[in-house]
Amino acid sequence: MAVENGGMLFYTEHRYYGQSWPHENNSLSVKDLTHLSLEQALADLAHFIRDQKSRNPKLTHSKVVLIGGSYSGSMVAWMTQLYPELFSASWASSAPLMAKSDFYEYMQLVNNSIQLSYGRNCTERLEKGLSHLVELFNSNKTTELLKKLNACENYNANDELDRISFFNGIGNYLALIVQSYRAYIPSLCHKLMTMQSSEEKALQRLLEQLYAADKLCQDFSYQSMLQLFGEHTDQSTGTRAWFYQTCNQFGWYTTTIWANNSSFGGQVPLWYFQRLCRDAFGPGQKPNKLEAGIAQLNEQFGGLDFNQKERYRQVIFTHGQLDPWRAMGQQVGNQAIVLPGYSHVEDLASINVRDTVPMNLAKLRVMSFLRRHMAAI
């Protein structure tokens, strides 16, 4: 797209990620993380655009198009509300727009996407398998299970946090396949459906094959989960920085319990993530602090309750049908495209003859939208 329009491409890095540290010691301590927020990141991007235009005479009068996927897709959409004078148009791929702490819809859509990709028989076997695992925990019969899964000795099946972490880990594995590796959904389901066992134990057998082959033991514990967000254990991945943002402004916690219903075993409540936030960032990290941040963000940017003739007029939204994140994004209207059979940010790749006709037509439609807005300014 840049070549076709004589453009230059810039990839900007979010503060606290990669090499972009506002403090010399690259600190991830709570006191140094206070400068990590959406507003700061958007202001950084605005400064970058102004700075490039002032430094390079060839860019002084050039048009600016913002493109992002996932959280960066949210950012380019939200930029239109704060700095509309800086750009002509935006393309937001797989962009969640509404912040929400109890994001149970995510795992609901993971289930729906598996069913769409393979069939109800796979999702039903998954649910039966998870119910079987829940029953093993409820009846205190996990010794053999944990041995076959090569669990580390520090894991305590009777500890509530360890138990939730176990089921959260299984959910994360399935969610990762749907969100980022959707081409493997059929093979995963095929393995599950052809496993030589009862329907209830098929998932257990699949997990045994997945985990037992590893030479290192599998740490399913809460402490292992918490360590991912540790101040001194994460200096490069951005995991602690992202978790801090979710604990303060976004939420988006993939729970499996809602309104007297559940999915994927129904073992992962919201309070589990609230506890992780507190343990990772201290006693000041209270649930009401996050809810206040969520309310402020949704009020400022409209959440999903907006008229696109008034808000986000310069933005086109694209979502994969299989992407669980689309539940928090704009999916309706003339400036929204939902792509059948695709998942998270897959539309950001170049046009490819191996893609489906709807995918390539969507990319042409996106380009037409961006050109039209560039010409109108």
pLDDT for the residue 309: 86
pLDDT for the residue 235: 65
103 three-class SS: coil
- Mean pLDDT, the chain, rounded, equals 94
pLDDT per residue as tens digits for the range 75-91 = 999 999 999 999 999 99
pLDDT for the residue 350: 87
Any idea where the domains of the chain sit in the sequence? Answer: 32-97+302-376, 101-293
Contacting residues for 211 by C-beta, under 8 A, at least 6 apart: 149, 150, 218
CA Rg, the chain, in Å? 22
Q: CATH code for 32-97+302-376?
A: 3.40.50.1820
Please tell me the distance from the alpha carbon of residue 96 to that of residue 41, in angstroms, as a whole number: 17
Nearest CA among 24, 65, 17 for reference residue 44: 17
Q: What is the mean pLDDT of each run of 10 residues along the chain (377 residues)?
A: 90 92 83 94 97 94 96 97 95 98 97 97 96 97 95 96 97 96 96 93 94 86 93 76 97 92 91 97 96 97 91 96 98 96 95 92 95 84
Tell me how many degrees the CA angle 161-109-223 measures, rounded to the nearest 5. 20
pLDDT per residue as tens digits for the range 217-246 = 999 999 999 999 987 656 678 899 999 999
pLDDT for the residue 376: 78
Cβ atoms of 115 and 271 closer than 8 Å: no
Terminus-to-terminus CA distance in the chain, angstroms? Answer: 19
pLDDT for the residue 377: 57
